[in-house]
Amino acid sequence: MAKTETKKHTPLLHIVKRDQGSLTWYNRLLVRGIAILAALLVAGVLITLLTGKNPIQVYGSMVSGVFGSPRRIWNMLQGLAMLLCVSLAVTPAFKMKFWNIGAEGQVLISGLACVATMMFLGDKMPTVVLLLVMTAASVLAGMIWAVLPAVFKAYWNTNETLFTLMMNYVATQLVAYFLKVFVKDGSGVLTPMPQYGLPVLGNQAYLLNILLVALLTVLVYVYLKYSKQGYEIAVVGESENTARYIGINVKKVIIRTLLVSGAMCGLAGLLLVGGTNHTISTTTVGGRGFTAIMVSWLAKFNPLYMVLTSFLVIFLEKGAQQVSTDFRISSSISDIITGIILLFIIGCEFFLQYRVVMRKNRKENA
């Protein structure tokens, strides 16, 4: 290095952090919009290369898969509501920088609690009581699954990412065990029990779910933005030391937040099992616990933006499913497209946070 010191070496490009608020909101929107467009373009080119079809047709097929018929729109809304519900559930924890990647397991175990209640108590109590017990069981199960890692994190600083990840598989295996023990015919497939499900509003099977999640979105927004607890979560997330200095009990906040988070996962489990499937399998949650993390993070933990980001993910998922049926290609194309778009959006955050500065001309400097 000593030799090159004499010659001033400036890199061609260098990176500078942007000041907070130096970008206007429409500039931010523009960058994200460009990222999504670029990603759609790449995905379109990819599908065209793989299938040899006109990309316009491919996009058309995607749109029709999402908005093509009232049934498809309802399916899209239901998918949106479920993903949004899980995303809302993980948000308080993430805002606190508690990397809970165990939503998958938390939702699944609540679903298991819900289905067990339906199965064993369904014919033993009146509907209203049953619904209350189902709700209580699901919420409680979600809370237990979430608070275990939180307690260890709070007291012994145990790595929560890995702890919650492992809890997912414990939940999956418990469901597998349950299905083998209690499904009498040995098929491992539990017959749906719609008679014990949540009430159906106005003949639309998914309406209740959608309304409940809409309500939850507003509640979480208010909780995080305007309540004292929400403020404490934000402070702990920004700096634990600051939080301790101003007299916030960090341990208490961590445990309390994860109880809230787990309770919302419990609600998601209730809606998925009690309100939608009326049965359970090991894949009931279907990766939503992981996708929700990306949805929440992309929305910068703002519940209102989360409606948009989860719409984006659901649009891609349903659209790509339609593409795969229309053009007879492997259904895995849906995962590929979702992955590509997520990576593009993750990458574009860089341009919102940092500026790339070109090396200035020597003469200008002198």
Residues lying near other proteins in the complex (CB under 8 A) are found at 1, 15-17, 99, 101, 152, 156-159, 161-163, 165-167, 169-170, 173-174, 176-177, 180-181, 186, 287, 290-291, 293-294, 297, 330, 332-340, 342-343, 346-347, 349-350, 353-354
Least separation in angstroms between CB 356 and other proteins = 11
- For other proteins, the closer of residues 73 and 356 by Cβ is 356
- 12 near 357, Cβ under 8 Å? no
Which stretches within the chain are classed as H helix? Answer: 25-51, 55-67, 70-95, 103-121, 127-156, 160-182, 207-226, 228-238, 240-245, 250-272, 288-298, 303-326, 333-353, 362-365
CB atoms within 10 A of CB 211: 12
Least separation in angstroms between CB 364 and other proteins = 23
How buried is 284 (Cβ within 10 angstroms: 0-12 exposed, 13-18 middle, 19+ buried)? buried
- For other proteins, the closer of residues 209 and 296 by Cβ is 296
Least separation in angstroms between CB 207 and other proteins = 30
Least separation in angstroms between CB 179 and other proteins = 8
- For other proteins, the closer of residues 163 and 223 by Cβ is 163
What is the rounded distance in angstroms from the CA atom of residue 331 to the CA atom of residue 67? 19
Least separation in angstroms between CB 325 and other proteins = 14
- For other proteins, the closer of residues 17 and 71 by Cβ is 17
Place of tokens 């916030």: 248
- For other proteins, the closer of residues 67 and 305 by Cβ is 305
Q: Distances from the Cα of 354 to the Cαs of 14, 31, 97, 204, 361, in angstroms? A: 10, 12, 21, 47, 21
- 98 near 160, Cβ under 8 Å? yes
Least separation in angstroms between CB 282 and other proteins = 9
Of 318, 360, 357, 306, residue with least CA distance to 87: 306
- For other proteins, the closer of residues 248 and 336 by Cβ is 336
CB atoms within 10 A of CB 177: 11
What is the rounded distance in angstroms from the CA atom of residue 89 to the CA atom of residue 78? 17
- For other proteins, the closer of residues 16 and 128 by Cβ is 16
- 216 near 264, Cβ under 8 Å? yes
- For other proteins, the closer of residues 212 and 336 by Cβ is 336
Q: Distances from the Cα of 218 to the Cαs of 32, 201, 225, 241, 304, in angstroms? A: 24, 21, 11, 30, 8
| Structure tokens given for 2 | 């000593």
Least separation in angstroms between CB 21 and other proteins = 18
Least separation in angstroms between CB 177 and other proteins = 4
